[in-house]
Amino acid sequence: MSATKQKEAWVRVKDLEGSDFICPLSALKDPGQATEEELESCVDSATAGRYAGHITIAD
């Protein structure tokens, strides 16, 4: 039996200083208000851009 591997959805968020991040949706309670603790699971959008083919970003 093989399990279907599903890509995790990621979303764009900004921190309080206006910096852009890409975060796994599952790491956020409210994508509109990511906490500093939640942002630890995220990557800055410049880094994410280099690996865009490996992640699915839900806008």
Helix and strand totals (H; E) in the chain: 2, 4
**Tens-place pLDDT, residues 1-59:** 445 556 778 888 988 888 899 999 899 998 788 888 999 999 888 777 666 666 677 76
Domain map of the chain by residue range?
A: 9-57
pLDDT on residue 8? 79
Sheet holding 43-44, edge to edge: 43-44, 20-24, 9-14, 56-57
Residues with Cβ < 8 Å from 24, sequence gap 6 or more? 8, 9, 10, 41, 42
User: 24 by DSSP, 3-state: which?
Assistant: strand
pLDDT on residue 37? 92
